[in-house]
Each structure stands twice: as structure tokens, then as C-alpha cells.
Structure 1
Amino acid sequence: MASPSLHSLPGGLAVATNSLYSCSNFLPTPPHSSPPRSNSSLITRSPRNLCDRKTMSTSAQASSSLPPLPEDRIVLGCGAVSVDFLAAVASYPNPDDKTRSTSAKLQGGGNAGNALTCAARLGLKPRLISKVADDPQGKGLIEELEADGVDTSFLVVSEGGNSPFTYIIVDNQTKTRTCIHTPGFPPMIPDDLSTSNLLAAISGARLVYFDGRLHETALLVAQEANRRAIPILIDAERKREGLDDLLSLSSYVVCSAKFPQASLGFIKAA
């Protein structure tokens, strides 16, 4: 991964930019040389594919000389979780084409879900504020997050509706991905998060993370974090409704390489 570029905003806001999305080797290529008659045997449900065992082992060895993590290492996140249906193809199809996948996976996704899963695997204690439905996809998301050590006590589960899901086409030729997202229904609103749950969720947190989604609820959480002088980290993937309000309260911003130029008017130095 390329080293991020750092920029400063008025008020001392730090912005780290990087191109985070590379789909090289994102899905394994099956051993056969020709497409199978059916892809059903290739579809697997797997945990969030964020870091492999070798990487985790290497990281653990590298951090063995570091001081132990403090007990109060709670991270609160507010944002999206999603079921991801991933299909890798040799090349992206043209309109009205039919093509076969080279491999497929079903796993949890969503920026907040992924970020907090990483935090849990690094030894932190993440809590998540988000919303799913009581459908099989929502239940699977909760089970997967809890298995990784993410506290889902503050996750809202609606009766009926649908959990968020995304179809992701991974182009092995260009090493890119295309996402087709279907939001959850009913959407999360501020009334879904009671004052008592908000205060319980943020209690003891050392950092609060937002991915820019669920903006009305996120703003309530950010305002409470700001009152308590808890650092706020924003994952600014792209311009979204309500993002400016969150940015005005943020301590740190992580974004894609295109976000500053498109949304904040930065021009990359020659």
C-alpha cells in the first residue's frame, strides 16, 4: 500500500489520503482452467477477509516488544454493516452480456463493520451502533461480528424489513471492484438510539469512529463525543449527506485519494 499523503485543514484537522481499494488477489482463482458447469460449489460463506493468518502472525511478532495495551481501550463505531455477495470475473461484462464467475464468496461487510472487526483483531474493544433487520442476513452479521469480538449490544434489530446488502463484482483484469448497494429498511433514525443506550455505548470510549452513514444518528453520537472531548475519526469515503456536520467535529479524517480534490478543493502538489 502506498504511503498516505497528509494535508491540514483549517482548525488543525489532519487528513490522511490514500487509495484504499485494490482488488488484486481479492478472491482466489479456482484450480480448473475452464469454467465449471455450475458455480454453486464455489460459493462459500467466510469471515471478513481483512487480514490473513500470516499477516496477523507477523504483526504479533513485530509488536511483541511494544508495551501492553491499556485496559481502557474501547472504540465506539457508528455506521454501516452489510452482507457482501462477491463474485470475481475474468473481466467486467459488457451491457447485456452473460458471464461466469471464477469464484464467489458471501461475507460481512460495510465500512464500520470492517473497521471494528480490524480493531477487535488488533486487541481493542470495539462497540458498534448500527441497524439490521431480523432476517437471516441480519442474524448472520451479528453472529460474525460477535465471533470477532465486536460488541453488538447497541445494534438495533428491526422487526421485518431487510438488512443492508451489496453485490460486488471483482474484475480480475483491471483489479477493480464494482459495488451495487441496497440499503437496509427501515433506515436507522435518531429515535432508534435511546439516550440511555447512547450514554452506555460511549461510556469509557477512547475513540469514536464514523463512516459517514446513518448521518442523523451519527451526529448525535458525535456531539456527545465532542462534549466529552473524545477524539473523533471520520472515514470519508466520498461526499455524503450530513458529512460536513461530522467533519466539523472531527479530530482525524481518513479518506480516499480522490476525496480531497472532489469534495474539499485540494489540488495535489506537482
Structure 2
Amino acid sequence: MSRVLLAGLCTLDVLQLVERYPADNEKVTALAQTVAAGGPATNAAATVAHLGGSAVLLTAVGRHPLAAGIHADLAQLGVHLSDLSADDPGAPPVSSIVVSAGTGNRAVVSTNGAARTLTVPDLAPLLAGAAAVQVDGHYPELATAVLTEARRRGIPTVLDAGSWKPVIPQLLPLLDVVVCSADFRPPGVAGGPPVAAYLSAHGVGWIAVSRGAEPLLRWTPGGFVAQPVPRPAVLDTLGAGDILHGALTLAVARRWPLTDAAFAEALDEAAAVASRSCAFFGTRAWMSASPAANPAADPAADPAAGA
């Protein structure tokens, strides 16, 4: 079983599915509601565990009563939680999310945990046996320490680059794989090939751009190569990028060291998982509806899965 360490944000997500967004001072009744642990690293960890990997989540949760929901969700999923703020009495970051049933679009109001100060732990036992690590750029000191130690140990490193963060320039030399959203923009750098060239110039070996329902763009020495993604009926896109990164990190762990063909396969597997999740409301329903119909869900389909 491939062991993956994921470091970053953990929130408590409260999701409401509505026929339409309410107007000012209007109340609407939700069609459905769900509550789950959220955040980029957390949703990625949930995905790793669901797909048969051993997921270790390094984050900050605390001992506020609201943290009980986070602990219960992660325990049910089989995610091993290492809480760096276990004695903090403050509430965990909470995201309030309204999803439009008609479009799959959402409105989000949240906090990002920036107010919490974390002490980086001894990473040796946490990284022992790890086949890959992923960070999301939240808690910069933690991300830097995890990537530095992983690089020292020869463990492949992955960044969920959903948006630009000030810490990213110091992380780039420590990264093997970066999959960024189309909105990811280094200061002064235009989108498209200039972003990939920027990442490559800073030492990143494997680069791709995710664009929702549009084909993934995989960077090669000859430029971008488009990889189509499945296009399911979309109910909710929340967390799809996080799920993509979780599935990709596990696929990288199972295939390391990468070749261009192996990276392309890993991207295809991850895209299949993320696309499937968009057909369900919330970030968990896709896991229990039926077995995931892709090779990443079946370790026996991957000869490196047991590594």
C-alpha cells in the first residue's frame, strides 16, 4: 500500500444545494445538505485513502467542539490525522458553501487558517516509508519543511497550485510535480506556456495545467500536449481540483520515477476520478455511490501499487 503524506489546510465544510442562489434578505430551502472535512490537502487525503493508499494528513484542527465533525469524517475515511494544534481551543476554519443545482457553480465564504501558528514537528517518523508527499501552500513553514525533508530523502514532491501564494517561489526548487489551475499566475507572468516555462526554469520536472472540463495540458520539451478529460453530467464541481491532486499524487507514488508516458497515465487516472466526483453533490458522495471505474481505484491494476 503506497503511503502518502499530505500537508496543508483542513476546514469544516458546510454545503447547501439549492435550486438558485438567494437574493439579498431572502431565505431559501436547501435541496440537500452535507457537512465534511475540507480544504485542498484534506480532500486530497480523503481521495488517497479511498483509492487504496495510506493517507497521512499533517494539518491543524484543534479541540473546539466543531473539530469533532472533522475527526469523525477523517476517521471514517481511513485518513491518519496528525494534528499540529491539538490543544488549540479555537474553532477550526469553516467554509460555508452554496451550490447551484442548475449549473454546478458555487459560492463560498471561508477562512483559511492563516491566523494559526504551527510548530513544525519531527518529520522523520511521518515521512518514514512515504512514497510521495503533497502540499497545498497553506502554512508556509510547514510546506517548506515537509518538501525539504522529502527532497533530502528522495521522496517525490507534488504541489496543488490552485492559486498563487507568496511562499511558492521558495517551494519551487523543492518540487517534482506541479499541476496548476488555469488561474495560477506568477507575478508578471502571462498564462499558458509562460507559466510552464517559469515553473520549469525553477526546477520543476513535471508540469500540467487543469482547466475544468477542458483538456488537461501536459508540458513537454516540445510544448503543451492536450489530454481530454471525461465530461460527466455535472452536479457539483466543489473539491474536484483537490480530488484530482489526491488521485494524481497517489498515481505518482505508484509510478515513480516518472517517464512522460507514466505522467500522462497518471494524469488520465486522476482526471477520471475528479470528473466522476462532479456528478455528485459534495466531496464524499462519489466515493460510496459505486466502485470508481478507473485503474487508480484498483491497486491490482497497477503493478507498482504495492510499492
Confirm or deny that 1:226 pairs with 2:151: yes
Change (3 A) 1:213 1:170: same
Q: 1:137 aligns with which of 41, 66, 71?
A: 66
Query: 1:218 deviation in Å?
Result: 1.0
The 2-side partners of 1:80 and 1:263 are apart by 27
Match of 1:76 in 2: 5
Alignment gaps of 5+ in structure 2 = 194-223, 225-307
Asked if 1:149 corresponds to 2:78, the answer is: yes
Deviation of 1:261 (Å) = 8.4
Q: 1:87 to 1:122 in 2, by over 3 A?
A: same
Cα displacement string for residues 201-235 of structure 1 (whole angstroms, at most 9, x for unaligned residues): 11111101011211121111111111122111111
Cα distance in 2 between the residues matched to 1:148 and 1:173: 29
Offset of 1:180 from its aligned partner?
0.8
Q: CA deviation at 1:90?
A: 1.7
User: Structure 1 residues 83, 131: closer, same or farther in 2, change over 3 A?
Assistant: same
Q: Distance in 1 between matches of 2:25 and 2:90?
A: 31
Indicate the larger mover: 153-162 or 122-131. Answer: 153-162
> 1:161: which partner in 2?
90
Q: Distance in 2 between matches of 1:117 and 1:263?
A: 35
Equivalent residue, structure 2, for 1:108: 37
* CA–CA separation in structure 1 for the residues paired with 2:31 and 2:74: 27
Q: Normalising by the residue count of structure 2, what TM-score does the alignment of the two structures yield?
A: 0.58
Alpha-carbon distance in 1 for matches of 2:75, 2:60: 15
Q: Secondary structure at the match of 1:248?
A: helix
Alignment check: 8 A CA contact 1:161 1:186 kept: no
Q: Does structure 1 conserve the Cα–Cα contact (< 8 Å) formed by 2:159 and 2:175?
A: yes
Structure number with the higher helix fraction is: 2
Matches within 5 A, 1:181-192: 181-184=110-113, 187-189=116-118, 192=119
Distance in 2 (alpha carbons) for counterparts of 1:175 and 1:96: 23
The aligned residue for residue 241 of structure 1 is 166
CA–CA distance in structure 2, aligned partners of residues 124 and 182 of structure 1: 29
On the 8 A contact 1:239/1:263 being kept in 2, the answer is no
Q: Deviations over 1:133-176 (max 9, x none)?
A: 20122122122212212111455313311111100011223320
CA contact (8 A) 1:158 1:186 kept: no
The corresponding residue for 2:120 is 193
Rg larger in 1 or in 2? 1
User: 1:128 maps to what in 2?
Assistant: 57
The percent identity for this pair of structures is 31
Letter aligned with residue 257 of structure 1: A
Q: CA RMSD in A?
A: 2.3
Higher RCO (C-alpha 8 Å, min separation 6): 1
Secondary structure at the aligned position of 1:134 is classed as: coil
Aligned CA distance change for structure 1 residues 154 and 102 (closer, same or farther; 3 Å): closer
User: Is the Cα–Cα contact under 8 Å of residues 133 and 160 in structure 1 kept in the other structure?
Assistant: yes
Aligned pairs, number:
194
- The residue aligned with 2:211 is none
1:85-96 to structure 2, matched below 5 A, reads: 85-96=14-25
Partners in 1 of 2:174 and 2:104 — Cα distance? 35
Greater shift in the superposed pair: 87-96 or 203-212:
87-96
Deviation at residue 263 of structure 1 after TM alignment:
7.6
2:12–2:93 Cα contact (<8 Å) kept: yes
Partner Cα distance (2:188, 2:22) in 1? 31
Paired residue secondary structure (1:158) = coil
Cα distance in structure 1, aligned partners of 2:165 and 2:144: 13
| 2:22 is aligned with 1:99 | no
Letter aligned with residue 103 of structure 1: A
Q: Is contact 2:17-2:101 (8 Å) kept?
A: yes
Matches within 5 A, 1:13-52: none
Counterpart contact for 1:127–1:154, Cα < 8 Å: no
Q: C-alpha separation between the residues in 2 aligned to 1:218 and 1:263?
A: 24
In structure 2, do the counterparts of structure 1 residues 143 and 168 end up closer, same or farther at CA, with 3 Å as the change threshold?
Answer: same
